[in-house]
Structure 1
Amino acid sequence: MKILVTGFDPFGDDKINPAIEAVKRLPDEIAGAQIVKLEIPTKFNVSADVVKDAIAKEKPDYVLSIGQAGGRFELTPERVAINLDDGRIQDNAGYQPLNHTIHGDGENAYFTQLPIKAMAKAIREAGVPSAVSNTAGTYVCNHIFYQVQYMRDKMFPDIKAGFMHIPFLPEQVVTRPETPALSLDDDVLGITAAIKAIVSRDGKGDIETIEGKDGSVAKFENQTRPL
């Protein structure tokens, strides 16, 4: 099995991006799967081509994209990508799309093929906070999540793909009071646990649990609402 793991370069006012820093520190093999690491630019009009070229070259079984979500407390595997670019700030090329459809012939939304509940559970069991997220935003993170799903729909039907956000690093919040942060070691530990879950659930689908945004979980056994 081969897994392509991507991480963005720094953007905005930040000089570091935990996404690519964590990806670079992943081992070359996790749970028997070959890990291919790729840095991608935080640019709406370039990032997808970089990933598409890597998919065509490497022919991975899975694509896991990692991005920074400042303000979040935990690692958050994303459930859905939406067909919308709406940048709150300019990207690294100075481009800021507003209410822009990514692909006119694409679905309004694509759901991930990754076992996101199993991933969140595995991350927590590794001692790192995690919860499933239902929004990847409308910046370049959602853009690449959607673009890879579109590629799967139109060009690479055999891949499975998804996205996970990670929090700021401690050095990024020195001038951001009361903003949560997570160490790079915890990021690497959490991403590694998520990849192990992807490998272990290959061909089995996701686990049946109810995921709360606070990270609480309940077994799905004839329950009508989360505990």
Structure 2
Amino acid sequence: MKILVTGFDPFGDDKINPAIEAVKRLDDEIAGAKIVKVEIPTVFGDCATVVHNAIVKENPDYVLNIGQAGGRYGLTPERVAINFDDGRIADNKGHQPLAEAIHEDGQNAYFTQLPVKAMARAIRAAGIPSYVSTTAGTFVCNHIMYQVQYMIDKEFHDLKAGFMHIPFLPEQVVDRPDTPALSLSDDVKGITAAITAIVEMDGKKDIATIEGHVS
């Protein structure tokens, strides 16, 4: 089994992005699966081009995109992506789409093929906070989750994919009072647990438990 794992570069006022820093530190093999690590730009459209090229090159069984979600206290596997770009800030190329469809011929929303409940439970079992999220936002994180699902719909029919948000790093919250953070080592540990769950649940239905959260 091969799993493509991507992480975004820094964006906004931050000089570091825990997503790519954690992805770079993942083992090259997890639970018997080969891990291919790719950095993607925090840019609408461009991020999808990089991921598409990587899928064509690597032919993975799964894609797991990782992104930063400042303000969340745990790792949050995302359940659904919506066909909607609405940037609260500009991306790294200065683009800021407002209330725009990502693809006119795409579905209004796509659900992940990943076992998000099993992933959240496995992350918590590893001692890291986690819950299933039902909103990936409307910035580039939701954009890439939707784009990969669109690729599955239109081109890579056997591929399974999804997205997971991770919190700020401690150094990112020095001037952000009362904002939760998680260490890079815990990020790596949590992502590794999530990937292990993906491998173990391959070909199975997700677990039937309550793993969600209000946010």
TM over 0.5: yes
Partner of 1:70: 70
Q: CA deviation at 1:197?
A: 0.1
Does structure 1 residue 156 correspond to structure 2 residue 173? no
What is the CA–CA distance in structure 2 between the aligned matches of 1:158 and 1:212, rounded to whole Å? 27
The structure 1 segments of at least 4 consecutive aligned residues displaced by more than 6 Å after TM superposition are: none
What is the CA–CA distance in structure 2 between the aligned matches of 1:92 and 1:55, rounded to whole Å? 23
Q: CA deviation at 1:210?
A: 1.3
Alignment of structure 1 residues 15-34 onto 2, 5 Å = 15-34=15-34
Does structure 1 residue 88 correspond to structure 2 residue 88? yes
Partner of 1:168: 168
Q: CA deviation at 1:212?
A: 3.6
Q: Name the SS for the 2:45 alignment partner.
A: helix
Larger Rg: 1
Q: CA deviation at 1:45?
A: 2.3
Q: CA deviation at 1:18?
A: 0.1
Paired residues, number: 215
Q: CA deviation at 1:205?
A: 1.7
Q: CA deviation at 1:105?
A: 0.3
Q: CA deviation at 1:3?
A: 0.1
What is the CA–CA distance in structure 1 between the aligned matches of 2:176 and 2:66, rounded to whole Å? 22
Partner of 1:223: none
Q: Name the SS for the 1:50 alignment partner.
A: helix
Q: Name the SS for the 1:162 alignment partner.
A: strand
Query: For residue 94 of structure 1, what is the amino acid of its counterpart?
Result: G
Partner of 1:195: 195
Q: In angstroms, what is the RMSD of aligned CA positions?
A: 1.0
Contact 2:121–2:211 (8 Å) recurs in 1: no
What is the CA–CA distance in structure 2 between the aligned matches of 1:113 and 1:122, rounded to whole Å? 17
Query: For residue 59 of structure 2, what is the amino acid of its counterpart?
Result: K
Contact 2:82–2:108 (8 Å) recurs in 1: yes
Contact 2:65–2:145 (8 Å) recurs in 1: yes
What is the CA–CA distance in structure 2 between the aligned matches of 1:211 and 1:177, rounded to whole Å? 28
1:9-57 Cα offsets, whole Å, 9 max, x none, are 0000000000000000000000000000000000002110000000000
- Structure 1 residue runs of 5 or longer lacking an equivalent are 215-227
What is the CA–CA distance in structure 2 between the aligned matches of 1:11 and 1:55, rounded to whole Å? 24
Partner of 1:221: none
Does structure 1 residue 14 correspond to structure 2 residue 10? no
1:154-213 Cα offsets, whole Å, 9 max, x none, are 010010000000000000000000000000000000000000000000001201101241
What is the CA–CA distance in structure 2 between the aligned matches of 1:24 and 1:211, rounded to whole Å? 28
Alignment of structure 1 residues 25-174 onto 2, 5 Å = 25-174=25-174
TM-score (structure 2 length as normaliser): 0.99
Q: Give identity over the alignment, percent.
A: 78
- Structure 2 residue runs of 5 or longer lacking an equivalent are none
